[in-house]
Structure 1
Amino acid sequence: MNFDLSMSQQLSQTLTTELIQHLEVLQFSEEELKSYIYEKASENPFINVLDHDIQSMKNVMDYSLYQFSDSTKKLNNETYSFLQTNITHKEPVEKALLEQIPLHQDLNELDRKILKYLIYHLDDYYFLKIDLESVINRFNVEASYLESLIDLLQTFEPIGVGARDFTEYLLIKIANDPFAPELATAFVQDHLELVANYSIKALSKTYKVSTKEAKEAVDYIRNLKPPMSQCTDIRDEFIVADVEVKKVQGEWVIDVLNPNRPKIEMNEEYVALLKDNMEHQDYYKKCLKDYMLLTQGINQRDKTIYSVSRVLLNLQPAFFESGIEALAPLTLKEVASVLEVHESTISRAIRNKYIRTPHGIFAFRNLFTRGISNTSGKMDSVQYIKKRIQELVASEDKSKPYSDQQITNELVSEGIQISRRTVAKYREELNILSSSKRLYA
């Protein structure tokens, strides 16, 4: 038996407490950050909050109020009372959702009508409880056609609006969160009652994973915000932009907006009280460190959001000049590369955040689109390609509709490198029938 002694070099990164908190603060929306500041101030006497907004505290719903005692996921009396007292007019939420329809340029007039109809028929908790058969009959469309539009609605901000029930809502939230634990989807689909009962050992045994992994997934699910609390800030303030990009005397200016954020300062009185008290030095150091972490985290968050906005302005100049139709393909990886940070940092930075431009307010994530290479070496956005497919179909000879291959040939002749299979996929996403069905339509 031979034993060889060898050396290898390995690079590893350990997340510090500071970095973990900075990443946590970075992914907060402005409303979530506001709640986080109040929470920290209640725990730390060194943190003094100015301009308290008591109403904002009432807008935060504790997920623990939800109980999953049966398959219908009924609300307990306390939660129901909370919801009843917080349900006001839905117009602001409807307005915010309606304003997102034009962001999807590949929609036809029927698509837009159905989306508006669905938005106007959301219930008081922003679930879609309307009889789908009645919608199918009203607009004379197939069930698959309607389902595709419901899927689209559920991607509107806030994510999950339009879910048919609470289970579907949770699954949508998990599917749209790149940081969701791997087990979260299975737990919600198959064992939601065990999650509600906090049955960590049972879940661990069922899935043959450690109790730590099971607990991580359960805690994640139980801390997902219900749709009502997500819509609170939209209902009260419509969509509040986190950043504004505008032209001032011919120059682009970027402003990070936080007018409603509570200001924090150090409570000097408590600092003086504990500073020289030898019996409480550990507590003094902890409070001081937590205060510093909070202020540094907020400053770093704003700097990162500003940096992402600056890169977007540099990489998407046509969009800021002309609007959504000029949006170029862009990925999180490209922005991360420019800023020399991990892709997940960019994902956290744009989560639930909005940017105001001369052409309206957009969710940051809507400015990231896929693309396909053309012969010039540049990229054509998927939105542009879908628009060209629509135009080609609209201009075709109705007695000789274009096949997918003919559309592919036309796009290739325009310099767009695309396969027939991709054309077929985009055509289906546009709810355009195949050539044989269009001939007899």
Structure 2
Amino acid sequence: MELAQLVQQEIMENPVLEELEEVNDDEKESDDETLEESEEKGETDDLKDDQADDLPDLPPTEISQEFEATEPASTAQEQEIDWDSYIQNNIEQGMSAESYTERPSIETTYKKEPSLADHLMWQLNMSTDTDAEKFIGSCIIGNIQSDGYLSIGLSELAEVCKVNEAEILRVLKIIHTFEPVGVGARSLKECLMIQAQSLPKRNPLMETLIDSYLEKLDERSYQKIASELKISIDSLIAAINKIKELSPKPGILHSFEGIDYITPDLIVVKTENGYDVALNNDGIPNLRINPYYHNLLKSTTEGQTKQYLENKYRSALWLIKSIDQRMQTIYKVGRSLVKQQVEFLDKGMSYLKPMVLKDVAKDIEMHESTVSRITTNKYIDTPQGIFELKFFFHSGIKSFMGDDMSSIRVKNMIKEVIASEDVRDPLTDDEMVEALMRKNAKIARRTITKYRKELNIPPANKRKKLF
């Protein structure tokens, strides 16, 4: 809906841009005559290099559905509007093309409720003046979940940003000073510690409990903790109550909850040769340049009218081309994912392969940051359900057989093992190592402990039931 709102706003404000609902034969004939007239005057050319190179080898049906406003819009738009010639003409007339070429990506122009990411980006722009820090910070913020936690490791961020981990950590420390306090943490301990250390009056006992006794606090071993720290129970309880005032999920404070109806951007289609993807164009208007204003611009030679039309013409071209490039990139990413996840599409979650942004970026010959941006809040409808495109990017673990296993697959295996355990004698993390080895998954105990906590599954002693 955000893109549709942006388009509708531009249509209302820009007379040069128009939306076509349907095209009848009379309209088509009229547009063809206009095109022939322009060609006779030498005012049209084919699409030039930079536009043509941006287009992947989409099936003809996909191209027509994706960016063809209708048949007249396709011919009139692509042949009447010569991108290179138009920009070059403006340069020759003394108008700078820089204001066009440096426009932001279309995603950044949406009018929407400020999200947690928006709130953090605003603070980032206020906190640093260097482009390098802003770039690294935007990569970090783009991987912070709605609850406020950083979803990927420093090494993966360093690979995407092409810097060392020390640089990532330095900028992450800056983000740790942002509101809501605790955002960007990589664990509950780090989240609570950031908040505790930001209090106007720091409490050493609070920080000690967070740093060394979180699990024991969860077990309510208060007498044992008080004895070890040589403090009274009252002092311990007072510090615990202070910890309870902290937020374990700071990002929730800046989330705008509502009923979200997901419309997938891509649909996986079963074919005779496997799988393909189709773009979902619901809500994407069919756009073209209004022929009247196009002709008026050609006939107007000077004054404010010409300048006004040139600005609106440029704005309309930018929007049309940006929507096209956006959809083409989404298609490329979706096609790459489908190509690499055939077993998952066929057999389900247990066959999900580990992937990182670099895998898709290399396949479609784009930068990792572009893939990261285009997969945010974009969804794909598959035989296994609807998933955000970012869902497919996660770490892998070497299995007992030497194959890479998806971390999501390992988590599912942990859930399956625990679901089938004897509740009167639940499995410890060490015993789960053995259980997973019998499933050809050689996973370290610390990894199982980490994933169990991420799944919010308590340890064995808290899963035990007497009956």
Q: With the length of structure 2 as denominator, give the TM-score of the two structures.
A: 0.47
Q: With the length of structure 1 as denominator, give the TM-score of the two structures.
A: 0.50
The answer to which structure, 1 or 2, has the higher relative contact order (CA under 8 A, 6+ apart) is 1
Please say which structure displays the higher CA radius of gyration: 2
